[in-house]
């Protein structure tokens, strides 16, 4: 089957993309508006960018026929700061609850029962219940499309890491203790408990012939 995205409805294109790119890690982003209001929202269009400078990226899609901008993006553009909080299995119910369409100015921290903790470098608070927090300074945003379904890439430099002591061992994060989750399509999520090892191959050139 060959599908041309340009011939699909927005909804069908969205479902095709989300069903194909799985599982996706979840950025639980906390931000603060210029007026001091707090916001907390999950984004599954999320990944790393580089280790030097250490940076991550998440994408904020525009909602509805009017292509409404989400509060997270408005806050990040106002302040240039945000925190990415990693979602583990224990956080899933609160993360899901925070995805409701709360009015601007309503703190999802309070609405879903999570605890804001002061960050060290940025003004936006961390999620106390998250096992890993990444304080980020905005590097740049990139607009992709300008209508419904379009998005804004938010690229941030990680300026502080907060990691629970029991997760960090000899420079590595213990995945069994982290218990991170990923997003599939629709209402389905995935655990990271079923893993396998695969060594990276080393290319050895064939000896030159005389």
Q: Is the pLDDT of residue 67 over 60?
A: no
pLDDT range class, residue 69, cuts 50, 70, 90: confident
Residue 66 vs residue 163, higher pLDDT: 163
Instruction: Give the Cα separation of 33 and 77 in Å (integer).
Output: 9
Q: How many domains does the chain have?
A: 1
Residue 173 maps to a domain: yes
Q: Dump pLDDT digits (tens) for 147-181.
A: 778 899 999 999 999 999 999 999 999 999 999 99
Q: Is 38 a domain residue?
A: yes
Mean pLDDT, residues 26-40 taken together? 96
The verdict on residue 202 lying in a domain is: no
Q: Span 25-49, mean pLDDT? A: 96
145 pLDDT band (50/70/90 cuts)?
confident
Distance CA 103, CA 157 (A): 28
Residue 209 has pLDDT above 80, yes or no: no
What integer pLDDT is reported at residue 66 of this predicted model? 62
Cα of 157 vs its chain's centroid, Å:
14
Q: What percentage of residues in the chain have a pLDDT greater than 70?
A: 97
Residue 2 lies in a domain: no
Whether 204 maps to a domain, the answer reads no
Report pLDDT for 10.
Answer: 83
pLDDT above 90 covers a percentage of the chain that reads: 82
Task: Decide which of 105 and 18 is more confident.
Answer: 18
CA dist 3 to 7, 10, 16, 104, Å? 8, 13, 10, 38
Instruction: Determine the pLDDT at residue 105.
Output: 80
pLDDT at 68 over 60: yes
Structure tokens at 130: 């998250």
Chain centroid to CA 198: how far?
Answer: 26
Contact 43, 60 (CB under 8 A): yes
- What CATH number is associated with residue 25? 2.30.110.10
Q: State which residues form the domain around 182.
A: 16-191
**186 occurs within a structural domain:** yes
> Would 32 be classed as within a structural domain?
yes
Per-residue model confidence as pLDDT tens digits over 81-90: 999 999 999 9
- pLDDT for 208: 79
Is position 83 within any domain? yes
More confident of the two residues 61 and 91: 91
């Amino acid at each position: 089957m060959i599908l041309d995205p340009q011939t699909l409805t927005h909804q069908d294109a969205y479902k095709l993309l989300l069903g194909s790119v799985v599982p996706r890690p979840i950025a639980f982003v906390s931000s603060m508006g210029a007026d001091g209001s707090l916001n907390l929202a999950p984004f599954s269009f999320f990944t790393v960018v580089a280790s030097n400078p250490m940076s991550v990226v998440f994408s904020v899609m525009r909602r509805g026929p009017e292509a409404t901008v989400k509060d997270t993006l408005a806050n990040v553009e106002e302040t240039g700061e945000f925190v990415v909080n990693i979602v583990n299995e224990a956080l899933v119910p609160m993360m899901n609850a925070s995805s409701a369409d709360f009015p601007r100015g309503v703190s999802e921290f309070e609405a879903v029962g999570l605890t804001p903790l002061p960050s060290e470098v940025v003004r936006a608070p961390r999620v106390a219940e998250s096992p890993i927090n990444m304080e980020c300074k905005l590097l740049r945003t990139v607009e992709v499309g300008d209508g419904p379904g379009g998005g804004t890439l938010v690229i941030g430099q990680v300026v502080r890491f907060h990691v629970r002591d029991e997760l960090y061992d000899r420079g590595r994060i213990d995945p069994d203790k982290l218990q991170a989750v990923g997003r599939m399509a629709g209402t389905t999520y995935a655990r990271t408990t079923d893993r396998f090892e695969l060594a990276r191959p080393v290319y050895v050139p064939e000896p030159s012939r005389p």
